Amino acid sequence: MFMEWTSIHPSDVLLHEQPATPVLDEQSFFIRFFVHKIQSCSSGSRWLAAFASLRDFLHWLCSGGGIVAYADSARAEEAPEPPPRKKKVVVLGTGWAGTSFLKNLDSSRYEVKVISPRNYFAFTPLLPSVTCGTVEARSVVEPIRRMFEKKGKDVAYYEAECFKIDPTKKAVHCRSAVGTNLDGNGDFMLDYDYLVVALGATVNTFNTPGVMEHCHFLKEVEDAQKIRKSVIDCFERASIPNISEEEKRKILHFVIIGGGPTGVEFAAELHDFLVEDLVKLYPAIAQFVKITIIQSGEHILNTFDQRIAVFAESKFQRDGIELSTGFRVIKVSDDSITVKCKSSGVETLVPYGMAIWSAGIGTRPVITDFMNQVGQVVKSESK
Ligand SMILES: Cc1cc2nc3c(=O)[nH]c(=O)nc-3n(C[C@H](O)[C@H](O)[C@H](O)COP(=O)(O)OP(=O)(O)OC[C@H]3O[C@@H](n4cnc5c(N)ncnc54)[C@H](O)[C@@H]3O)c2cc1C
């Protein structure tokens, strides 16, 4: 270690007294020591008295009236600056938005934590194909940890659900999504400098009675797997002996509520599955199979270019898929759907075997709560 002696005039000492760093190393200790003494002396005699030991006095004398202090300049130069604290980035969600953000984030510059109840990314456009087994579920997902590892991202992932965002304290409250074996210790809190909210949307039933209890949804991989099993179950139920024709018709009536892109894609996949596979496997009941799309608007795919809607409608008509446009579902029971004609107001019962609700998406409660906290107006999500 290189030690350097320096002769410093009292006025210099005062100048150097402002420490660049609050850490009290040897050098700044000595400087403060002398400054303290000088500041506490107003006369010559008190100058002398200010030197607590003979060694102090000799140091002062030998330096010809100046104050001798030593400085370890090499140490001062070498002393590593403590690394600045990395800003904390918390990302909620591992869907399209969350993973796109993470892929483009330089994770070496931030302390990144990701919260999502889903430890994989799901390629949603292929979910309708999973419902019919055209594509296997594992082919449409990518484990989130593998994604980070492949991209060399230094990211911590927690399989949990955020149930509250506290913008005042800059913290998110989370709950483990992994089973119930944590003895109540599954709740935790993370603070953040930057919060990325990528929670997507939830299904919206518009508070229609019976939808939650009796309908399938198609938002997650698990939903697609449940639908696949349910379709096969309908065929097996309808194959049981002593089932009336009317009952078979009901069981094999597949109803899709909502003629948007998800409903339409599912209807097309289901049609191909029934015609190309199941009808061959269950020839005795093939004649009872029916697919219906119930749509409250006048056309399916009404947010798309009209030519696309017209093309889809004529294709479905050729395939024997029934389109009930201008009808609104007002209630779902375990074996029938009550629809109301928007023009006439007449209500009709539609018997069904399996129903998919793809009529709308809504805001997640955690987001509604967050928006309220930050003073954003939550638009009502009525039909
Ligand atoms: C069947 C289907 C087909 C589709 N096809 C297309 C298509 O062809 N083209 C197209 O452009 N779009 C398509 N979409 C729409 C597209 O999937 C969505 O627009 C997109 O998923 C929205 O991305 P997101 O990241 O906002 O939300 P999502 O992808 O839904 O991701 C939300 C994430 O948040 C997580 N999360 C939820 N709640 C919490 C919580 N409380 N705490 C922490 N994490 C939480 C979820 O687990 C998920 O990881 C399709 C959708 C479906 C359902």
Placement of tokens 């795919």 in the chain: 301
From 90, 114, 124, the mutation candidate for ligand 1 (largest count of ligand atoms within 8 A of CB) is 124
Cα 269 to Cα 178: distance, rounded to the nearest angstrom: 32
Which of 45-59, 211-225, 280-294 has the weakest average pLDDT?
45-59
Instruction: Give the SS3 label for residue 168.
Output: coil
CATH 3.90.1200.10 for the 87-200+364-373 domain, yes or no:
no
pLDDT in tens, 330-372: 999 999 999 999 999 999 999 999 999 999 899 999 999 999 9
pLDDT in tens, 48-103: 344 444 444 434 433 444 444 444 555 556 788 887 889 999 999 999 999 999 99
- Which is higher by pLDDT, 115 or 380? 115
Same fold flag, 87-200+364-373 and 211-360 = yes
**Is the dihedral angle over the CA atoms 315, 319, 321, 324 positive or is it negative?**
positive
What pLDDT, on a 0 to 100 scale, did the predictor assign at position 13?
30
Confidence grade of residue 380 (pLDDT, cut at 50, 70, 90): low
- The pLDDT of 162-178, averaged and rounded, is 94
What pLDDT, on a 0 to 100 scale, did the predictor assign at position 42?
40
pLDDT in tens, 102-126: 999 999 999 999 999 999 999 999 9
Confidence grade of residue 180 (pLDDT, cut at 50, 70, 90): low
What pLDDT, on a 0 to 100 scale, did the predictor assign at position 18?
33
Nearest CA to ligand 1 atom 17: 124
Backbone phi, psi, residue 64, to 5°: 70, 35
- Res. 133: pLDDT tops 50: yes
Q: What is the pTM of this model?
A: 0.78
- The pLDDT of 6-35, averaged and rounded, is 37
Host H or E run for residue 74: helix 73-78
Most confident region among 30-34, 105-109, 189-193 by mean pLDDT: 189-193
Cα 162 to Cα 173: distance, rounded to the nearest angstrom: 6
pLDDT in tens, 224-236: 999 999 999 999 9
Ligand 1, residues at Cβ distance < 6 Å = 92-98, 115-118, 124-125, 127-128, 161-162, 198-200, 218-219, 262, 364, 366
What pLDDT, on a 0 to 100 scale, did the predictor assign at position 67?
41
CA of 262 to the centre of ligand 1 (A): 12
CA of 95 to the centre of ligand 1 (A): 5
Backbone phi, psi, residue 131, to 5°: -60, -25
What pLDDT, on a 0 to 100 scale, did the predictor assign at position 15?
31
- Res. 184: pLDDT tops 80: no
Mean pLDDT estimate for the chain: 83
- Res. 287: pLDDT tops 50: yes
Confidence grade of residue 16 (pLDDT, cut at 50, 70, 90): very low
Q: What is the CATH number of domain 211-360?
A: 3.50.50.100
Token pair for 70: 């030593």
Are 111 and 152 spatial neighbours (Cβ–Cβ below 8 Å)?
no
CA of 93 to the centre of ligand 1 (A): 9
What pLDDT, on a 0 to 100 scale, did the predictor assign at position 56?
46
Confidence grade of residue 381 (pLDDT, cut at 50, 70, 90): low
Cα 299 to Cα 259: distance, rounded to the nearest angstrom: 8
CA of 83 to the centre of ligand 1 (A): 37
From 199, 262, 364, the mutation candidate for ligand 1 (largest count of ligand atoms within 8 A of CB) is 199
The alpha carbon of residue 145 and the mean position of all alpha carbons in its chain are separated, in whole angstroms, by 14
Q: Which atom of ligand 1 is nearest to the CA of 161?
A: 42
Host H or E run for residue 234: helix 221-239
What pLDDT, on a 0 to 100 scale, did the predictor assign at position 28?
44
- Res. 155: pLDDT tops 50: yes
Sketch the domain layout of the chain as residue ranges: 4-78, 87-200+364-373, 211-360
